[in-house]
Every structure is written in structure tokens, then in C-alpha cells.
Amino acid sequence: MQTITFYGASNDIVTGSNYLLKDEDGYGIVVDMGMFQGNEALNDLNYQPLQFDAREVHSMLLTHAHLDHVGRLPMLTRHGFSGKIYATAATKALAEVVMFDSAKINASNEDKPLLYTEEDVYDTLSRFETIQYDQEFELGSAKITYKNAGHILGSASIVIDDRGKRIVFSGDLGNSPQLIEQPTQYIDSADVVIMESTYGDKAHPDEDPRTTITDEIKITENKNATLLIPSFSIERTQVLLNLIKHLKRDGKVRQDTVVYLDSPMAIKATDIYKSFRDLYSDALGKEADNSDPFNFPGLKVTELGRDSKKINKRAGAKIIIAGSGMMNGGRILHHAKQNLANHNTRLLIVGFQAENTLGRQIVDGAKSVEIDDREVDVNAHVTELYSMSAHADQPRLMKWLTHMTGVKKVYLTHGEGLQRTTLSEKIKADTEINDVELPTLNQTFDLSL
């Protein structure tokens, strides 16, 4: 590969993963094509014209199915891409849910241009070719191998060997060991590394999420209150369901406490998780041999909007797991509007909150927030639980990077300013790698070494 251009997840932006590689012969490979998420300015980036000609892209590599990696993928086919899209089978299954949901949301937003339609999603899905981890395949002069990133079901790091040079994309690296996922695979060598830096400035706290979740549920039960958990539909929700199942089974919380899974996407994703038992961690695999690891007494799934709206009318203690994880959309907004002003309400934050999202405002201590043009007081008790993150922290990022020999250059992506800068300084201080770049949006680099 001769050049790489960063069309997303750069400029201190965590989301919008999108990179274009080109070789000496003009062969183009796109890696990821995700949605920008956050404030209005970031969301507006999704509606900008493509910065490259999709008709000149030969192939597409997908690391995993989170919205910020797959959300704009159908725009490729809509604008003339006719090549193949390579991903694991689990990524394809989850990406289908994410893309159809995104198309539906976009179509319902009359104030925004149409990004793509459901027909575009079908066209995109027809171009997928599923591959296995460690299965080498060829694209032009390059040989490609996917390694398990340990982040979510089907997630991958990508190794590209081309004309004596090895380029590695980390994708999103997992917080191994995790409850559901198999551990992150290490890679032995690389020349160039494109690496995420979401938690590049910190180590996750050494805490047991079971303890925090148990405490939150018990307080909710004792007060006959509401516990709100904004959760990402893929991975975080399934972890929560499995943890709560164990707490109920072990008598740590009451059997009759109702848990609402109030997210159509999370419901579909959970069904997909049940179909890929071969990707479970060893512990979850053994559990799944005897029972459904994501089901338990008191679990109620609410697919229909009218059922969702009835939840807050129910008296007594209740737990509501709803999307979206950063509270920038989805059904969690309705529940937040109804419950945040109540001093008895508990709000449990279990994932990364990007700048300018509603979740970030609350975590940063906002006393009131605007939801659907309405000012809502924040009187709820807010608890943050970072040990449930599906992202590697700084020690894990460094361990993954330093396992590779021969690294001459690192490009840091998927990090806000402090995170990227801190990790860059750490790499330079603790390794022999001195060439660390912090790419800006739409910046192109020569990959010649």
C-alpha cells in the first residue's frame, strides 16, 4: 500500500471510522465506514459529500458492527461501489441490524438529507463475503488476515501484508478478559500500525461490576424506584443481561424485580449473540450448554413503542435497559425525561460518553439538560461504571502494541485530544517507536518507509 487517507476517527474525533488505502497500481481498499456521533457539528459530517469516488474503490474491509464503524457503509453502494465487503459472519449479522435501524432513523428525519434507503442496505448485504479469523485471503497484491480483537462479537483487527510491508489496523481492541468475548489476539509483527486510543490516557479501575450493579439494584428495590441504564445494543446489553441473571440466580437481588429490555435493536442483537456460541468465552460457553445466558425471571422485552411508553406507569422497583448508550437518541430519552428529576431515580452509566452527548453532559455534572426541547432537572443519583467498558485501556493498548516487533510508525485514531496525546507520549517514552502521528480529518500520508 502506498498511501492512507483518514476520512474519520481523526482530528480528536472518536467516531466515524473510515480509512482509504491505495497501492502503487491505484487499487483502493476502504477500511470501515462508520457514522459520526456526538454534537450537531459532528452529526453534520455524515451528510457531507463523500471525499473519494466510491466507484474507484475495489474492496472494503470491516472491523466490526458498531454504528461508528458501519453506519455509513450503504453510502458506498449508493454511490457506485461494486466490490466485495469482507467481514466475519457475526459482524455481517450484527451490521445488518445496525444498518437497517440507521436507514429507518434517517428516513424518519425530515430535516436531514437521505443518506441511504433500505434498498441500499439490501444491496450492501449482497456484497458481503464472510471470512474466518486467521483465514488469509488476497486483494490485489495484498494478503489480508483477520484477528480476533476481543471487543464485541465478531470484531477484528486487520493485518495487511503487501509487497514486503505489514500494515495493521487495531479496530477497537477489547478490555480482555471479558465476560462474553474471547480474548484479544496478539499480532507478532508490523511495520505500520493504525491504532485506536479511546482510553489512551487511563487505566480502567480495578472494580467488580457485579458489586456496583448489585448495590444499584438493591437501592432501587428498597426505594421502589427506577434504575435507568443507557446501554449500547451490541455487547454491553448482553453483558448486563448475563450479570443480572447471575445476581438473581445467586440471590443477590430479588427474583421478582422487573428488568425491561427496551430496545428493538438490542433484542435483535441478543438473538444474534445466541447464534454464535462458538465465539463465546470459555466460561460463557459452558453456561450456554445448560441454559440461555441472557434470560432470567422478571425479564420483559418491549419491542413495540406503545409498550415502552407504558413502562413508567408501572409502580414498584424496575430496571430499564434502553438505547442509546450515550443518550443521544433512542428510547432512553423518553425514560430520562420522565425520571431524571426524581431524587429516587438511579442512573447507571456503563460506557464511554463522547463529548457533547447528553450522557457526557450528565456525567460532567449538569444540573439540568435539554431533552426534546424540554428542560429537565437532573436530580437522579448518577453512577459511572468504567470497568464494564469493551475498550482496552492504556495498559492493554500498550501491551497489544509492544507485542509486535518491527513497528516503525503508529497512527493514533479514535481518541479525543487528551487521550491521543497522552498515549502518543506514552508510546514514545516506553518504546523505541518515535514516529507517532495524530492524523487530522481528510489527511493523506505516504506509507513508504
Ordered by start, the domain boundaries in the chain are 3-202+390-446, 209-388
pLDDT of residue 449: 66
Closest to 302 in 3D by CA, of 285, 293, 314, 292: 314
Which string of DSSP letters, residue by residue, matches 265-284? HHHHHHHHHTT-GGGB-HHH
Report pLDDT digits (tens) over 254-287: 999 999 999 999 999 999 999 999 999 999 999 9
152 backbone dihedrals φ, ψ, rounded to 5°: -135, 175
| For residues 321-337, average pLDDT | 91
Residue 354 reports pLDDT greater than 80: no
Helix/strand/coil percent split, the chain, to 5: 30, 25, 45
| For residues 157-184, average pLDDT | 95
pLDDT of residue 37: 87
Residues ≥6 apart with Cβ < 8 Å to 71: 33, 34, 35, 46, 98, 99, 102
pLDDT of residue 364: 94
Q: Are 327 and 208 spatial neighbours (Cβ–Cβ below 8 Å)?
A: no
Residues recorded for the chain: 449
Round the average pLDDT of the chain to a whole number and report it: 94
Share of the chain above pLDDT 70, in %: 100
Report pLDDT digits (tens) over 290-302: 899 999 999 999 9
**CATH 3.40.50.10890 for domain 209-388:** yes
| CATH classification for the domain delimited by 3-202+390-446, as one of 3.40.50.300, 3.30.450.20, 3.60.15.10, 2.60.40.1220 | 3.60.15.10
Residue 389 reports pLDDT greater than 90: no
User: 423: pLDDT confidence band, cut at 50, 70 and 90?
Assistant: very high
- Taking the C-alpha atoms of residue 188 and residue 427, their distance in angstroms, rounded to an integer, is 17
Residue 286, classed as helix, strand or coil, is helix
Residue 146: C-alpha distances to residues 156, 159, 215, 358 (Å) = 6, 6, 40, 35
Q: Which residue has the cell 497484491?
A: 141
Report pLDDT digits (tens) over 107-160: 888 888 999 999 999 999 999 999 999 999 999 899 999 999 999 999 999 999
| For residues 192-215, average pLDDT | 93
User: 430: pLDDT confidence band, cut at 50, 70 and 90?
Assistant: very high
Residue 107: C-alpha distances to residues 103, 116, 252, 322, 432 (Å) = 6, 8, 44, 22, 50
- Taking the C-alpha atoms of residue 238 and residue 259, their distance in angstroms, rounded to an integer, is 13
User: 30: pLDDT confidence band, cut at 50, 70 and 90?
Assistant: very high
- Taking the C-alpha atoms of residue 209 and residue 198, their distance in angstroms, rounded to an integer, is 20
Domains 3-202+390-446 and 209-388 share a fold: no
- Taking the C-alpha atoms of residue 383 and residue 218, their distance in angstroms, rounded to an integer, is 14
Q: Are strands 165-169 and 192-196 parallel, antiparallel or unpaired?
A: parallel
Cell of 42: 459532528
More confident residue, 376 or 329: 376
State the angle between helix axes of 89-108 and 118-125 in degrees (0 to 180), rounded to the nearest 10.
Answer: 170
| Cβ count within 10 A of residue 269 | 25
Closest to 94 in 3D by CA, of 284, 305, 275, 244: 275
